[in-house]
Structure 1
């Protein structure tokens, strides 16, 4: 399709150049009146021809764009189907491994086989991490395909924060960090997709705990009033080393780590924060 529009563009240029040459020849002729009349007529023909060529070129370019759009849409749909099938094929046996691992851990704990507990814990931890990565990839593919939906319900914010606190507490202990939560006294309930909001906050907190050692990670939840509307501001801060300006610029890029050494030293796929950003935008959030 590109060849067609390129051919039309080349033909249009050739015709325009020829018309200009003819007008110049007429302008140089001895019969001034006849040459002016002929020039006007030739200009009208030239402009009409230019209009036809431009319209044909626009139609060709538009068709190319439509074909490219359809191809991209088909590719995106195929990618989404692939990720959905892949995640199902991987999650089914992985859930079985996790289930049996947890059962073995409980049985060994009851029977006093304490020497086996650390290895069993590693199995379940590694499985849970892998399951989280699979879910992140599937979430991102759904977002890109425009198939991720919000399930808005009413819930108590304080209850959600308590759940996040329980999940995040072990992460804080891992690097000997203090976890602080500052909750506005006016906090009540809100209507939003609680699961996605909780995932956003958990991703940010997990990231903060990972890159902070012997420090403090703080979650602030405040009410902001604007006229008749009330907004809930969630913010996560930490006392970690921070990032370079270059790292900050690409921290929300998919499959990208803010610093080159991050993946080697800390692990991760670079999906947690980009997904959190996408979820926040879907829910009408802002930075």
Structure 2
């Protein structure tokens, strides 16, 4: 092979390398542009989420004052402090009072959801007994057990010692579960239980709220813990709500280092559960024992 042929092959190879280098640089510019676009979209998404959280928090605060006034006034009327009521007047005032209570619960869920999304809810773990937690929940729901065909049963905790976690947030999760179960159970029972389990090499407490209610069709199982998710049923349509309770419960459970889940069969009932560590890590990261 003479020098002219070698020079030609070398020139061709150099041209090919130059072309590949140019294509690589163009690809790199495209990747950098894509990263920049993704960063911009992520920033816009964070800004939109922040605006939503601020709006929810602001509106929730603004609603609380008039709702509190309505509840106070209806309570005064129902206590007959301003004079007697006719049967029809009492029925109407009870209706107003109940609607104000339900609206207040929705506002509280919205405010809590906004705080969670903004990272403004702190976990404050401490030692507590299951017996005390169940006793508090039993007393809380006693006034609302107006359907004699439904029993609310709290089982004795199974092998559960003192728990180190945030009992207020756990109680909020269980309140949401129990409240939903009572709404969608027209006959039978709502049963609350707690037991110690060992899974994933760790000790947990698994709480379950089981009911004999209408149940949930399988097509809704995947979305039941999402924001504003509601089950399409005649009972659901007759009840007010935003579908935020279960979504909030899921986020609170995650803050506690746990998880949520459910099983349900239409016309047979549902079981909602939450699993939290038996010993949560304290805020300073030091062992709790």
User: Structure 1 length as normaliser, TM-score?
Assistant: 0.79
Aligned position for 2:215 = 242
- CA gap of 1:107–1:224, structure 2 versus 1, over 3 A, is same
Find the counterpart in structure 2 of residue 38 from structure 1: 11
* Superposition RMSD in Å: 2.5
Matched, 1:178 2:151: yes
Displacement of 1:178 in angstroms is 1.5
Deviations 1:92-142 (CA, angstroms, capped at 9, x unpaired): 12112212222332244x965463444333222211110111111122222
**Whole-Å Cα distance in 2 between the matches of residues 254 and 194 of structure 1?**
24
Partner-residue secondary structure (3-state), 1:183: coil
Tell me what 1:80 maps to: 53
Query: Which is further off, 184-193 or 156-165?
Result: 184-193
Q: Secondary structure at the match of 1:150?
A: coil
Q: CA deviation at 1:268?
A: 2.1
Q: Which of 46, 52, 75 is residue 102 of structure 1 equivalent to?
A: 75
Higher strand share: 2
TM-score, structure 2 length as denominator? Answer: 0.79
2:181 maps to which of 198, 201, 208: 208
Seen in structure 2, the aligned counterparts of structure 1 residues 267 and 96 have a Cα distance that, compared at 3 Å, is closer
1:163 corresponds in structure 2 to 136
CA contact (8 A) 1:200 1:279 kept: yes
Is the 2:158–2:194 Cα contact (8 Å) retained in structure 1?
no
Partner of 1:134: 107
**Mean alpha-carbon deviation: is it higher for 194-203 or for 95-104?**
95-104
- Give the Cα separation in 2 of the matches to 1:227 and 1:257: 32
CA contact (8 A) 1:150 1:193 kept: yes
In 2: Cα distance, 1:171 partner to 1:245 partner: 30
Structure number with the higher helix fraction is: 1
Distance in 1 between residues matched to 2:150 and 2:99, nearest whole Å: 22
Structure 1 unpaired stretches of 5+: 1-30
Q: 1:82: Cα distance to partner?
A: 1.5
1:144 lines up with 2:98 in the alignment: no
What is the total number of aligned residue pairs between the two structures?
256
Moved more, 31-40 or 142-151: 31-40
Higher relative contact order (CA 8 A, sep 6+): 2
Is it true that 1:267 corresponds to 2:224 in the alignment? no
